[in-house]
Amino acid sequence: MTVDKTALSGSIADNLIRLFSAEGRTALITGAASGLGKRMGTSLAAAGANAYFGDINQEGARAAADEAKAVGIQKTQGIFLDVTDPKSVQEAFDHIRQETGGVDILICSAGLSRATWIEEMSLETWNEVLEVNLTGTFLCCKEGSRSMVARRWGRIINVASIAATHAPRPERFNGGYNYSASKAGVIGMTKRLAVELAPYNITVNCLSPGIMETPLTKKALAEEHTLKQVVDSVPMRRVGKPGDLDGLVVFLSSESSGFLTGQDIIVDGGYSVW
């Protein structure tokens, strides 16, 4: 029997392209006006998804979507979304449902940090961070899973943090008890959701970035001493960039990750190894 290696090679390549494509899917990314959320929304749109950039900063979300269009990535739209408000969450998902039939891919990236020493942290500051990072993720997962369950397919990616499991070495990042607690809660919720949604062909995973160049860290990383502490704590000897998540986000959003669920995937340049 003669095997047509050229045809075989072509079929494998075609299948891989299909497996990693988001073509025909609808994605909602929260916290997408800037930082990691903005980059993840752009990556999914580049992979073929209809990407909705959701943010409480609606002007910023629209600008992020328009920026993607300016470089030829057309399937983007910026919408208002306050993840702490159940009505706003429902309205955002209803809007997408009316336009496309529902969300297939949900990335919960909206996040907030308010760090102070424990004796100085007010209950209001504690609650503010948990409300955005944890409760906001819960509300979006609750609403987003509806259309996924109905259609028996879905991908949920919750953005946690290395801070959920590791106390930061650079002293500049101390005091984020509320942030660490909220992100640890996201990981725990993700694992439970993964089990409960698995029968509907829905995967639920976490991304836990290390210290990345984002608006949340810009001020701290501008300090030479802090930047040196960070770099010295990372085996790869650099700070993470939003683009470091591109491939993983596309993978977790695609058919190719169909047997991967309930995982907390750490992307930190080896920071957590030491």
Average pLDDT over residues 158-168: 94
The answer to whether residue 15 is domain-embedded is no
Write out the two tokens for 192. Answer: 């439970």
Q: pTM of this prediction?
A: 0.93
Instruction: State residue 71's pLDDT score.
Output: 86
pLDDT at 213 over 80: yes
The answer to whether residue 12 is domain-embedded is no
The answer to whether residue 262 is domain-embedded is yes
The answer to whether residue 17 is domain-embedded is no
Per-residue pLDDT of 5-35, as tens digits, reads: 555 456 887 888 888 899 999 999 999 999 9
**What residue type is 127 in one-letter code?**
N
Per-residue pLDDT of 233-249, as tens digits, reads: 999 999 999 999 999 99
Average pLDDT over residues 36-45: 97
The answer to whether residue 2 is domain-embedded is no
Mean pLDDT over the full length of the chain: 94
Specify the number of domains making up the chain.
1
Instruction: Please indicate whether residue 19 or residue 170 has the higher confidence score (pLDDT).
Output: 19
Instruction: State residue 156's pLDDT score.
Output: 98
Question: Residue 59 sits in a domain of what CATH number?
Answer: 3.40.50.720
Closest of 246, 150, 260, 147 to residue 203, by C-alpha: 260
Range of the domain at 205: 22-268
Instruction: State residue 5's pLDDT score.
Output: 57
Instruction: State residue 14's pLDDT score.
Output: 82
At 152 the three-state DSSP class reads coil
Beta bridge partners of 108: 158
The answer to whether residue 6 is domain-embedded is no
Please, which pLDDT band fits residue 185 given cuts at 50, 70 and 90?
very high
**Residues recognised as catalytic:** 179
Instruction: State residue 168's pLDDT score.
Output: 79
The answer to whether residue 239 is domain-embedded is yes
CA distances from 152 to 155, 192, 195, 197, 244 (A): 11, 18, 15, 9, 30
The answer to whether residue 9 is domain-embedded is no
Per-residue pLDDT of 138-158, as tens digits, reads: 999 999 999 999 999 999 999
